[in-house]
């Protein structure tokens, strides 16, 4: 098995962005990434398709029912009590710098206290989040950096999933991604960084403006199917992944590429089809 192949990881969460909205929108930076990435437009979210729970799946490799969140009627959780380590735990224990920039305050509760060196949260204008993340990337060396952008979810709730407004929100996210990749490029880190761009869930169907919010078991494919794009050292280039991918597979794939030991408690699996050697 390969030893460490990526020096750092940047994970960008496009909240609520469905694959169709990304594909229908002019996204030059995502397009550029795809040329060097292994990707699928058919990755699967976890249930319930609620933001905090799904990002726990992304960063801690388990679906919500593994830690009894299904019983929470409000969709809130005490993530600090979820009984598995997150990527932040792993990176922090390995002495790697960690950072999280989010566009929705409840995500502050996702990392266990003390496992992120930099935690920034700002609701509303996602540009503020990206500016802060870029300033940090240009100044420090976070080896694990998670950036969350809320625009597609906000536009979906307000204007409907796959609406013109949601596509405009995806375009804003793409511009933000360009700025983040520009910061990596400026540091000379682009070739050595694992970049993952994904959504936590999509939406629509229950009503045009929701993503299964009232029903934790709601699993229509238009709500659960999300883009998952992975680019960096050890990753196939321009490769559409044929295997099934869950958002739970993000953490183990990133851990493997960062040389971190994958906890047995994680349910996600390494996306072998995305990798050149494993
Ligand atoms: Zn969400």
pLDDT digits over 165-183, tens only? 999 999 999 999 999 999 9
Q: For residue 200, how far is its CA from the centre of ligand 1 (angstroms)?
A: 5
pLDDT digits (tens, 9 = 90+) for 92-119: 999 999 999 999 998 998 998 899 999 9
Whether residue 13 is contained in a domain is answered as yes
pLDDT score at 254: 98
Q: For residue 246, what is the DSSP state?
A: B
Average pLDDT value for residue range 232-242: 97
d(CA 152, ligand 1 centre) in Å: 9
Examine residue 140 and state whether it is found in any structural domain, yes or no: yes
Residue 99 alpha carbon to ligand 1 centre in Å: 20
CA distance 155 to 98: 29
Hunting for tokens 């994970």 — which residue is that? 11
Closest to 224 measured CA to CA, from 211, 235, 236, 215: 211
Q: Whole domain around residue 251: which residue ranges? A: 8-274
231 C-alpha to ligand 1 centroid (Å): 22
Q: How far is the CA of 276 from the centre of ligand 1 (A)?
A: 31
Q: Is residue 1 assigned to a domain?
A: no
pLDDT for residue 216 is more than 50 = yes
Report d(CA 181, CA 247) in Å as an integer.
22
Report the separation in Å between the CA atom of 2 and the middle of ligand 1, taken as the mean of its atom positions.
34
Region for 34 from its dihedrals, namely left if φ exceeds 0, alpha if ψ lies in -120 to 50, beta otherwise: alpha
SS3 call for 104: coil
What is the DSSP code (8-state) at residue 159?
A: H
Q: Does 153 reside within a domain?
A: yes
Q: How far is CA 10 from CA 23, 135, 146, 148, 253, in A?
A: 22, 14, 6, 11, 13
For residues 161 and 20, give the distance between their C-alpha atoms in angstroms, rounded to a whole number: 10
Query: CA–CA separation, 127 vs 124, rounded Å?
Result: 9
Please tell me the distance between residue 184's alpha carbon and the centre of ligand 1 in angstroms: 26
Pairwise CA distance, residues 134 & 138, whole Å: 6
pLDDT for 207: 64
Overall residue count recorded for the chain in this entry: 278
- pLDDT tens digits, residue range 4-51? 589 999 999 999 999 999 999 999 999 999 999 999 999 999 988 889
What is the CA(108)–ligand 1 centre distance, in A?
14
Query: For residue 258, what are the contacts with CB-CB under 8 A and spacing of at least 6?
Result: 4, 6, 8, 9, 91, 96, 143, 144, 194
Cα of 122 to ligand 1 centre, how many Å?
Answer: 15
Closest alpha carbon to 173 in 10, 29, 20: 29
Number of domains in the chain: 1
Is residue 16 within 8 A of residue 153, CB to CB? The reply is: yes
- Work out the average pLDDT over 113-130: 96
Residue 44 lies in a domain: yes
Share of residues in the chain with pLDDT > 70 (%): 90
Residue 186 Cα to ligand 1 middle (Å):
30
> Under 8 Å CB-to-CB from 49, ≥6 apart: which residues?
200, 201, 202, 203, 211, 212, 218, 219, 223, 224
DSSP string of 1-59, one letter each residue: ------SEEEEEEETT--HHHHHHS--HHHHHHHHTEEEEEEEE--SS--HHHHHHHHH
pLDDT greater than 90 at residue 68: no
Return the CATH number at 161.
Answer: 3.40.720.10
- Of 217, 278, 274, 218, the C-alpha closest to 250 is 274
């Amino acid at each position: 098995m390969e030893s460490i192949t990526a020096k750092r990881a940047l994970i960008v969460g496009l909240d609520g962005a469905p694959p169709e909205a990304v594909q229908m929108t002019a996204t030059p930076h995502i397009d550029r990434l795809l040329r060097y990435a292994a990707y699928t437009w058919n990755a699967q979210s976890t249930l319930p398709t609620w933001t905090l729970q799904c990002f726990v799946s992304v960063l801690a490799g388990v679906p919500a029912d593994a830690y009894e969140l299904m019983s929470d009627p409000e969709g809130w959780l005490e993530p600090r009590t979820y009984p598995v380590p997150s990527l932040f735990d792993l990176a922090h224990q390995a002495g790697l710098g960690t950072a999280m920039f989010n566009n929705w305050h409840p995500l502050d509760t996702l990392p266990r206290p003390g496992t992120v060196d930099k935690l920034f949260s700002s609701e509303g204008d996602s540009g503020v989040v990206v500016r802060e993340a870029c300033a940090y990337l240009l100044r420090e060396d976070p080896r694990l950096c998670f950036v969350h952008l809320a625009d597609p979810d906000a536009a979906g709730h307000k204007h409907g999933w796959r609406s013109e407004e949601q596509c405009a929100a995806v375009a804003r996210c793409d511009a933000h991604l360009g700025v983040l990749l520009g910061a990596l490029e400026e540091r000379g880190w682009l070739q050595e960084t694992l970049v993952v761009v994904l959504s936590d869930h999509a939406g629509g169907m229950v009503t045009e403006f929701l993503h299964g919010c009232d029903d934790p078991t709601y699993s229509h494919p238009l709500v659960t199917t999300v883009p998952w794009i992975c680019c960096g050292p050890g990753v196939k280039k321009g490769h559409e992944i044929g295997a099934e991918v869950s958002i739970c597979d993000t953490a183990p794939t990133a851990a493997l590429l960062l040389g971190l030991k994958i906890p047995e408690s994680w349910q996600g699996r390494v996306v072998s089809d995305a990798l050149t050697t494993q």
